[in-house]
Structure 1
Amino acid sequence: MDDRPSRPGWTLALASLGVFLTTLDVVVVATALPVMRVGLHADLADLEWTINAYNLVFACLIPTGAALGDRFGRRRAYVAGVGLFTAASAAAALSTTAGGLIAARIVQGAGAAVVLPLTLTLITAAFPAEKRGAAVGVWGGVTGLGVAAGPLVGGVVVQGVSWEWIFWLNVPVGLALMPLSALLLTESRGPRSRLDVPGLVLAGAGLFALTWGPVRAPSAGWGSAQVVGALAGGAVLMAAFVAWERRARQPMLPLRYFRDRGFATANGVAFFQRVSLIGSLFLIAQLFQTGMGYSPLQAGLRILVWTAMPMLVAPVAGVLADRFGFRPFMAAGLALQAAGLGWLAAVAAPDAGYGGLVLPLIVAGIGISLCFPTVAGLVVSAVPPDEAGVAAGTNSAVGEVAGVFGIALVAAVFAAHGGYGSPDRFLDGFVPAEWAAAGVSAAGVAVALLAPGRVRRAPAAAAEKEAVA
């Protein structure tokens, strides 16, 4: 810990800018998929990997990113993560083949895996408990802004310049964020004095295997040897990880967290919500262009009614959750997301106009808005402040793994019923895929209702006593 005075305002601004970069990148790329498919001569599998290469590495390395921040300093790790993300963005912009782009996206995911969990940790450490809910609400609103700006920015850039510039935009922002963070953030470390290397290796390998299987399933088949082998191998590796964490002196993921009902249910909600959200985003971004014939900019403007909702609603939800508890907002959020996506599937048709899609998109967007800040708030509230990095990293990893599963799910349903041959064929696949995404969100409501009504924030001293015991 250094003696630099804490600057909560600067911390919130700089950490939020980091999460904005990592969130914007996913959505911008999703909007540009139809143009990339033509420009890079990519097929459905290439499009999946353009997003999943990022999400897969992101999910596997997030625990490592949080651990590096605890061990070497959160400010230092945050600056390094932003630097890696920025360099990989430049490499992605220079790609001339689908394979080259996917490779750059892998490195981008590694940088984002360091940045994202530390954004929430830096904010948690900078704000007292009574103001933390409002700060996390702002963080959730900025996350929503990244989602909201993505389709519009992607549409403007792809139509006005070229798809490469959706990656070039990250470079000046990252170059400005690095020195500002180094100068204005206060350095802090977590409770772990050394890295849990065996835990990092087992968790990374296990998550990679568990996410590789669903990614390969649409092309290889769920019953293929490689998919079944990957899922079985991932389960064995994760079991070995749990066994190791039980005996490690300084585990990367203290298993006692999952004995807390709030922490366990928040991660369950995050999984269901992100499967539904990222899966839907993958197809809705293509619906307006491939299925309805709009240009990238026109598509971005029309998606805005869905993606802008978190920017408007999430900060309010974060503040209200401190007063009324997290459970009602998480349950209502998943229910509204399910209702909106199901409504969208019901009205999507070859002759459907945009006017019939607006209300379903708004309803689903409000649902997303209620989940973003309340899941994050419940996760960091369930653990002591000095362990928020580990908890945030776990939650982020769950969300990224869920995103990979979501794309694999909707792509499998889409491929079984439709294709890219014509707008009608696209809609043949889109409708059942959206129903599947809505069903996943609806199933998550049951998990949200298991969350505690009120959360008592754990003090650091209590955690230390429990660890010693």
Structure 2
Amino acid sequence: MTHAHHTEASPAIASPWPVFWVASVAVFLVSMDGTMLFAAFSALRAGFPQATAADLSWVLNAYTVVYAALLVPAGGLADRHGRKKVFIAGVVLFLLASVACGLAGTVHWLVAARVLQAMGAALLTPASLSLVLGAFPAERRAIAVSLWGAVGGLAAAVGPSLGSFAIAALGWQWAFYLNVPLGLFSVWRGMTLLQESRQFSSRRPLDVAGMGLLIIGVGALALAVVQADSPQWSRQALLASAATGVLGLAGFIAWARVAPAPLVDLNLFRHPTYRYVNLATFSFGIAFAMMFFAFFFYMNAIWNYPLPLAGIAMAPGPLMVIPAAALSGRAASRHGHRPLLLAGCLIYAGSALWFYLVPGVEPAYLTQWLPGMLLSGIGIGMVMPSLSGAAVSHLPAEHYAVGGAVNQAVRQIGSVIGVALTVLILGSASLQRASFDAIYLCHMGLALLTAVLCLPVSTAPATIRNASTTPPDAARPIS
């Protein structure tokens, strides 16, 4: 491995798994929180009767927009200032903000607390992945990253089921209070167990200009997508927001080319695997969010399931994610990620085809819904962790946090677009069975597009070994 890696792994840890569990508990919270509010939406409406649906959508969207915009800057902070320090700070901020969310008396306070929560989530996510990568030897990383990705996938998938129970029994506040016990455990174990690691490039200054341009670019673009169907926003305002986003991202790329120590080293994208994995992550992120959001619309509007029952109906899919991901991680460490990505995308497209053709207007869960749910869970378990793993497989150690964060941010931006598209297609008051056809066709098309984008991915063990033995100077930008 590179010289950078040795500086990081020097404090020998008897077993890397305790580090994995501490880091994963925090990621579980963040991912669960991202989707739990899909289930809380109607409870929030009842809790804040004076708020409009557009106001309430900000409880979901403010979090996602801020989280997506800050992931990459937070990865840079972790690489420079120490992964343990940034991780613990992120978990503490996330916990305090969760309590503030539960105590919020108005929608505006709730949105403000969600912004803080997203800042905490953005700090801890890339630091968590770097801590996991640093704890495992190179040959076991594919399994570790697959399981790390699976924890996130499982949590995102469990969020709505768990949320619907907690909210039905205890009120919407508990969508936030549930974070506290697990978060406290993560801080307590993290303080005692984690070893500090930062890169030898920590003397480099933080790229504040790049950070600002990236936040403006991602934030303004996400804002335009999220507000696309809002009556309060004129066509001109939407176009202005989208144009600001595009200019911000173009400025970010132009700046990264000339900056002495850019936030994201654009050389990362020279590697075709990294480039295509990020494109695939984007298309799969849209499909994943569309499936989720549409599921609750279908259960409520077509089959008239109450929220807790919809939560149970969703559970079998997520339960398939962990075993599928664990087996995929094993296979990836032997054969690379591409076969798993292709098979997983085809299975996921198959689940969309099932939902397009089979479920009708009358509830028939076991015969009409369950097979599609199981297929989608297996597909997600094969694709999501494999995308995370393939994204970081070629990276030199000094780029772990930023390289992983770019990939996570791309998925979040895809998710914002997926939610916005679903609301656009299904937002009308009177939903029919036929209203869902467009969603399932999009879902299928995006799954097949993801498969095509994964064709150039090359992470077979031999290629990784060659990449890891590249001298550190070859992997770093020339400044």
Range into which the TM-score falls when normalised by the shorter chain? over 0.9
- 2:121 match: 112
CA contact (8 A) 1:265 1:448 kept: yes
- 1:257 match: 268
Tell me: CA distance 1:51–1:336, structure 2 relative to 1, closer, same or farther (3 Å).
farther
Tell me: CA distance 1:109–1:429, structure 2 relative to 1, closer, same or farther (3 Å).
farther
Give the residue type in structure 2 aligned to 1:387: H
- Equivalent residue in structure 2 for 1:313, among 299, 324, 329: 324
- Equivalent residue in structure 1 for 2:407, among 392, 395, 398: 395
Deviates more, 1:61-70 or 1:91-100: 91-100
TM-score by length of 1: 0.93
CA distance in 2, matches of 1:453, 1:84: 36
Tell me: CA distance 1:100–1:353, structure 2 relative to 1, closer, same or farther (3 Å).
farther
- Equivalent residue in structure 2 for 1:381, among 370, 393, 413: 393
CA distance in 1, matches of 2:449, 2:477: 38
Tell me: CA distance 1:334–1:463, structure 2 relative to 1, closer, same or farther (3 Å).
farther
- 1:138 match: 147
- 1:410 match: 422
Q: Secondary structure at the match of 1:308?
A: helix
- Counting aligned pairs with the same residue, the percent is 31
Q: Cα RMSD (Å) of the superposition? A: 2.2
- 1:138 deviates by 2.0
Q: Secondary structure at the match of 2:260?
A: coil
CA distance in 2, matches of 1:289, 1:156: 15
Task: Give yes or no for the alignment of 1:295 onto 2:306.
Answer: yes
Task: Give yes or no for the alignment of 1:79 onto 2:88.
Answer: yes
CA contact (8 A) 1:5 1:186 kept: no
- Equivalent residue in structure 1 for 2:42, among 31, 34, 54: 34
CA distance in 2, matches of 1:189, 1:339: 43
Tell me: CA distance 1:97–1:282, structure 2 relative to 1, closer, same or farther (3 Å).
farther
- Equivalent residue in structure 2 for 1:54, among 59, 63, 69: 63
CA distance in 1, matches of 2:270, 2:32: 34
CA contact (8 A) 1:36 1:163 kept: yes
- 1:95 deviates by 2.3
- Equivalent residue in structure 1 for 2:444, among 424, 438, 445: 438
Tell me: CA distance 1:181–1:316, structure 2 relative to 1, closer, same or farther (3 Å).
same
- Equivalent residue in structure 1 for 2:186, among 162, 166, 177: 177
TM-score by length of 2: 0.91
Q: Which runs of 5+ in 1 are unaligned?
A: none
- 1:164 match: 173
Task: Give yes or no for the alignment of 1:241 onto 2:252.
Answer: yes
Tell me: CA distance 1:464–1:372, structure 2 relative to 1, closer, same or farther (3 Å).
same
CA distance in 2, matches of 1:453, 1:212: 35
- 2:4 match: none
List per-residue Cα deviations over 1:340-371 (Å, max 9, x = no partner): 12321333432242220111111111111111
Give the residue type in structure 1 aligned to 2:102: A
Give the residue type in structure 2 aligned to 1:358: L
Q: Which runs of 5+ in 2 are unaligned?
A: 1-6
CA distance in 2, matches of 1:285, 1:231: 29
CA contact (8 A) 2:25 2:183 kept: no
CA distance in 2, matches of 1:311, 1:254: 33
- 1:459 deviates by 2.7
Give the residue type in structure 2 aligned to 1:145: L
- 1:23 match: 31
Alignment coverage as a number of residue pairs: 463
- Equivalent residue in structure 2 for 1:354, among 353, 365, 370: 365
Q: Secondary structure at the match of 1:137?
A: helix
CA contact (8 A) 2:23 2:186 kept: no
Q: Secondary structure at the match of 1:386?
A: helix
- 1:91 deviates by 1.3
- 1:91 match: 100
CA distance in 2, matches of 1:49, 1:353: 34
Tell me: CA distance 1:341–1:43, structure 2 relative to 1, closer, same or farther (3 Å).
farther
- 2:3 match: none
Give the residue type in structure 1 aligned to 2:95: T
Give the residue type in structure 2 aligned to 1:91: A
CA contact (8 A) 1:222 1:228 kept: no
Task: Give yes or no for the alignment of 1:363 onto 2:375.
Answer: yes
Q: Secondary structure at the match of 1:219?
A: coil
List per-residue Cα deviations over 1:406-440 (Å, max 9, x = no partner): 1111111123xx32x5xxx2645444233323322
CA distance in 1, matches of 2:370, 2:347: 14
